[in-house]
Amino acid sequence: MTQDLTAVPDPLTRVRRRKARIGLVAGGLGTYWPQFPELLPQLQESARYVADRFGRMDAEVTDVGFVSDAQEGARAAERLRQADCDVIVLFLTTYLTSSMVLPIAQRTGAPVLVIDLQPSEKMDHAAFDTGAWLAYCGQCPVPEIGNVFRRAGIPFRSVSGWLRQESAWRRIERWVTAAHVRAALRHARHGLLGHVYPGMLDVSTDLTLLPTTFGSHVEVLEIDDLRVRVAEVTDAATRDRMALARDVFTLDGSVDDDDFAWGARVSVGLDRLVEDFELDTLAYYHRGLDGEQHERLAAGMILGASLLTGRGVPASGEYELRTTVAQLITDVAGAGGSFCEIQALNFEDGVVEMGHDGPAHLGVSARDPLLRGLGVYHGKRGWGVSVEFDVRHGPVTLLGLGQDRDGTLALVASQGEVVAGPLLEIGNTTSRVDFGRDPGEWVDAWSATGIGHHWSLSVGHRVDDYRAAADLLGVPFRVV
């Protein structure tokens, strides 16, 4: 699988989330057992191997054992319903009837992944009898189950292969990653601080959409929720945070000491805000006026928001609620995810330059991230310190959350390569992304998907992972 980016610089500690809950059930047609006495023990051995593989994954596994008829399938469905699974894996060891497994999909309400893994690459035709063949017959009921699920209005997904086929297990692991995403979003608490950036109609989001689409909660916060917590930060805590920042960042000569101290103080306050409201993400913006305290608070958030993002609590500016959801997905998938937008096109080199002047995911930086002092934030009030770096060179995937006319949310993705070349030194995270086509044509295709003007830039080619996540989440998926 793609390299996991859960490591962050010491002494930062990543947040711990509820693990994905996987339900596991194996099955075969009980009529066979008295006919072929050696068959069931062989299939049960395969089921133990599958259970062991899932047990070594970073998930909570509820294994309800082996079912042989419709009654046992119904009892398994009740146990899995109580387990509140993020995905249920149904292992077809041989032929079974669809009546044995339909209740599992209907009564649990969880998405189901059908897997059929025969014992080896092929049968030994000269040596096999009927009983030995039946151990290779798990593929037989897959079309039957697909047909019945479709008629029942249940999404169908499957992985076919053989027991120790690593390519098949990589496909299975993709669904486990998707289950982690579903678990995170089902239980996420998204913080929304301040107000929308005036005029950015694309970032405006109906707050009911996240609870109704994913099950998430949106916590509406006031700028004063941050103000009172920052006011309580001690000088000692501020100095400690400055020391931490010096370990994590390279400080450019443009950084003003007072601005640095203010960003550190706000960072501690942000940590307390996230802890007090049990937030999994934070989207923020506040305009302010003439250097008053609220303006200074909003301008001082980039340092703390970047540290939070590196810990696994994605933060984005400009009130970008949907982008923090995309960042949460890419982070949970182990691919990091920095807040970005299009900055410029380079037609000579064939790249799209993208990044942002706001929070960045420290785990995807190509070098030690830089803190740069800015006397002006373009398009925003205030001044202070900002984070600057290039995303790690190599394969990357963009992921954003678009919205259609009927309100439907959709995941939108595109794969490319971050390549070396000249970058602006203006306190932005900036990357040069080669999508293998004319950059203007790519922008046209990307903009036609319903994406907003911000998204998450994650490392690795992860379209298949994000497609699986969209499937389990029940939302459309579009690729450019």
* CATH number of the domain that residue 211 is part of: 3.20.14
pLDDT, tens only, 405-415: 998 999 999 99
**14 in a structural domain:** no
**16 in a structural domain:** no
Q: Where are the beta strands (DSSP E) in 347-470?
A: 351-356, 370-374, 384-388, 394-403, 409-419, 429-434, 455-459
- Across the chain, mean pLDDT equals 90
Closest CA to 459 of 405, 391, 360, 359: 391
Rounded mean pLDDT of 361-368? 78
CA 346, distance to chain mean position in Å, is: 30
C-alpha triplet 201, 466, 442: angle, nearest 5°: 60
Question: Do 292 and 340 belong to one domain?
Answer: yes
Q: Looking at the predicted structure, is the pLDDT value of residue 194 above 80?
A: yes
Helix (H, G, I), strand (E, B) or coil at 72: helix
Residues 400, 324, 10, 264: is their CA dihedral positive or negative? positive
**444 in a structural domain:** yes
Question: Do 212 and 335 belong to one domain?
Answer: yes
pLDDT of residue 3: 44
Q: Which range among 80-84, 340-344, 428-432 shows the weakest confidence by mean pLDDT?
A: 428-432
Question: Do 172 and 273 belong to one domain?
Answer: no
**11 in a structural domain:** no
**1 in a structural domain:** no
pLDDT of residue 184: 95
Rounded mean pLDDT of 423-443? 88
**Is the pLDDT higher at 165 or at 360?**
165
Q: Tell me if the pTM is above 0.85.
A: yes
Indicate the pLDDT class of residue 380, thresholds 50, 70 and 90. Answer: low
Q: Looking at the predicted structure, is the pLDDT value of residue 12 above 80?
A: no
pLDDT, tens only, 282-329: 999 888 777 788 888 888 888 999 899 988 999 988 889 999 999 999
**Is the pLDDT higher at 421 or at 412?**
412
Question: Do 156 and 262 belong to one domain?
Answer: no
**Residue bearing tokens 């601005």:** 259
Task: Evaluate whether 340 touches 320 at the Cβ level (below 8 Å).
Answer: no
Distance between CA 413 and CA 462 in Å, rounded?
Answer: 9
Question: What proportion of the chain, given as a percentage, has pLDDT over 90?
Answer: 69
**408 in a structural domain:** yes
Indicate the pLDDT class of residue 256, thresholds 50, 70 and 90. Answer: confident
Encode 400-420: b = buried (16+ Cβ within 10 Å), e = exposed: bbbbeeeeebbbbbbbbebee
Helix (H, G, I), strand (E, B) or coil at 349: coil
pLDDT, tens only, 38-55: 999 999 999 999 999 999
Q: How many domains does the chain have?
A: 2
pLDDT of residue 6: 41
Distance between CA 382 and CA 6 in Å, rounded?
Answer: 33
**Is the pLDDT higher at 250 or at 98?**
98
Helix (H, G, I), strand (E, B) or coil at 471: helix
Distance between CA 247 and CA 37 in Å, rounded?
Answer: 65
pLDDT of residue 128: 92
Question: Do 241 and 375 belong to one domain?
Answer: yes
**150 in a structural domain:** yes
Last residue of a domain, one of 132, 167, 185: 185
Question: Do 160 and 214 belong to one domain?
Answer: no
Task: Evaluate whether 460 touches 336 at the Cβ level (below 8 Å).
Answer: no
Distance between CA 302 and CA 296 in Å, rounded?
Answer: 12
Question: Do 342 and 283 belong to one domain?
Answer: yes
Question: Do 137 and 69 belong to one domain?
Answer: yes
Last residue of a domain, one of 140, 166, 185: 185
Question: Do 153 and 271 belong to one domain?
Answer: no
Q: Is the peptide bond before 476 cis (omega within 30 degrees of 0)?
A: no
Q: Which range among 188-197, 257-266, 386-395 shows the weakest confidence by mean pLDDT?
A: 386-395
Q: Looking at the predicted structure, is the pLDDT value of residue 469 above 70?
A: yes
Question: What proportion of the chain, given as a percentage, has pLDDT over 70?
Answer: 95
**Is the pLDDT higher at 289 or at 245?**
245
Last residue of a domain, one of 185, 215, 230: 185
Question: Do 123 and 194 belong to one domain?
Answer: no
Q: Looking at the predicted structure, is the pLDDT value of residue 5 above 60?
A: no
pLDDT of residue 369: 83
**Residue bearing tokens 């602006």:** 424
Domain residues for 425? 187-479
Question: Do 147 and 233 belong to one domain?
Answer: no
**CA within 13 Å, CB half, 77:** 19
Rounded mean pLDDT of 231-237? 92
**203 in a structural domain:** yes
Rounded mean pLDDT of 363-372? 79
Question: Do 236 and 384 belong to one domain?
Answer: yes
Domain of residue 154, CATH code? 3.40.50.10940
